Amino acid sequence: MNNIERYVYNLYKSIQVTHPEQLKLKSIASELGVSVLYGSISFSFNNVVILEKTNKQMEWQMFGHELCHVLRHVGNQLNMHYLFVQLQEWQADYFAYHFCVPTFMLFNLKEVSVNVIANKFNVEYDFALRRFEMYQNKLLIGGMAHGAYSGTRKKQKV
């Protein structure tokens, strides 16, 4: 488990979210003490996330991105060097993939595919495709067998 996966796992565990069906933007925001408002663009400040009004999948994905800024970043990007802003944006994108489609939940699914991810986690197809690729890479490069994440199964020999 990498640092972001561990962080997301512990975050969800702290608010008793363990299944994809529990991934509801408003209830999670409320549990985390984050206010969600809607505007013409998406951004965040303090404990407030402003989301552009669009479809539910994109709003969930943008929430994951902006929540990273709220929970893990400090400072005002208007006063930062552009390379540091780029780093924070990359980190927020990466966080969103893991927040919106948590690895520990993927390990508990009987089947993992792009369509399953898109439907179960209510994300757009392109987002699901990238998350599926990340998950497959983790399994292949990390040498982890399905279920080894939670320690419930023995790793399979290759």
Residue 149's pLDDT is what?
A: 47
Residue 151's pLDDT is what?
A: 41
Residue 144's pLDDT is what?
A: 52
Residue 118's pLDDT is what?
A: 98
The token pair that represents 19 in the structure block: 């299944």
Residue 143's pLDDT is what?
A: 60
Residue 92's pLDDT is what?
A: 97
Residue 89's pLDDT is what?
A: 94
d(CA 93, CA 69): 10
Q: Is residue 69 within 8 Å of residue 90, measured between CB atoms?
A: no
Beta-sheet pairing, 48-52 with 35-39:
parallel
Residue 7's pLDDT is what?
A: 98
**Using CA atoms in the order 104, 109, 111, 116, what is the torsion angle rounded to 10 degrees?**
-80
Asked whether the whole model's pTM tops 0.95, one would answer: no
Low-confidence ranges of the chain (pLDDT < 70): 143-158
SS3 52: strand
Residue 146's pLDDT is what?
A: 47
Q: How many Cβ atoms sit within 10 Å of the Cβ of residue 89? A: 15
